[in-house]
Amino acid sequence: MSEHFFDQAVALQPDGEHAFRGAAHPAWANMVGPFGGITAASALNGVLSHPQLLGTPVALTINYAAALGPGAYRLAAVPVRTNRSTQHWTLAMTQPDADGTEQTVLTGTAVTAARRETWSVSDQALPAAPAPKDVERILMRGVEWLQRYDMRPVHGIVPRTWDGSGEHSLSQLWVRDDPVRPLDMLSLASLADVFYPRVWLRRATRVPAGTVSITTYFHADAAMLARTGTGYLFGQAQGQAFRNGFFDQTAQLWNEAGEMLATSHQIVYYKE
């Protein structure tokens, strides 16, 4: 087994037809359960490990029904429809409760495809920013999964004072795995959820908040992943509307060469 924390966390073992077994990893612990990005990557790994897989990921939607607890879980990854060039999947992660009854903690869908080379362009360019080496790394203690990434904020750092004075929800940062690891679809899925809740920045008030559902769209191909290697990604996230206990936020990820690798959109709950 790889010694890298990421590979340990997403590791799965076959458990019958269309099913796998995995376990939450303490290195990715969040305030409640593991970091959502690593859970999404683990679910995607069920698709990518399936013997009937067609192509590579195009879209991944993960719905967090409950916090994943410590210990083992079961993941069902079912190819429900395979067409000539696309494949559609359903995902479900379950974990036994105190009575041993399997309870759903995650549902989701994925689309994979055998993509072909066509005319391609990115309409959203990499924002102007200093190089990663010119930006100071932020070291955030107290939450374990934050130690798994080298984060270098460019704009919209976590508020230093929680005084309700927030004016915007835009954050930009350079980020990569720590220790470094060549980028692949699994780590890209995890990085798409690396941003803290936008409501904290917009309000400068640290209220309880958590992702309910996230959809990630993959624009990278194998050549782009190889060109990115162990380099930094530039990430940008911004909220759009905050209302009645829920808000949505969008995110984009580019490599240092300015190639857009993935975008995401999520809905997040918050409390007063």
Report the mean per-residue pLDDT for the chain: 96
pLDDT tens for 43-67 read: 999 999 999 999 999 999 999 999 9
Query: Is position 196 within any domain?
Result: yes
168 shares a domain with 205? yes
Domain residue limits at 190 = 132-270
Single pTM value for the model? 0.96
SS3 content of the chain, % helix, strand, coil (to 5): 20, 40, 40
Total of domains in the chain: 2
190 shares a domain with 71? no
Closest CA to 73 of 37, 46, 109: 46
Domain of 60: which CATH number? 2.40.160.210
160 shares a domain with 80? no
109 shares a domain with 143? no
Query: Is position 100 within any domain?
Result: yes
Q: Find where tokens 């395979």 sit.
A: 82
Query: Is position 59 within any domain?
Result: yes
Q: What is the mean pLDDT of residues 108-133?
A: 96
Where is the domain boundary, 46, 81, 113?
113
Query: Is position 121 within any domain?
Result: no
145 shares a domain with 92? no
235 shares a domain with 160? yes
108 shares a domain with 139? no
Q: What is the mean pLDDT of residues 156-169?
A: 93
Say if residues 263 and 217 touch (Cβ distance below 8 Å).
Answer: yes
Question: What pLDDT is attached to residue 2?
Answer: 66
Say if residues 89 and 109 touch (Cβ distance below 8 Å).
Answer: yes
Where is the domain boundary, 79, 113, 147?
113
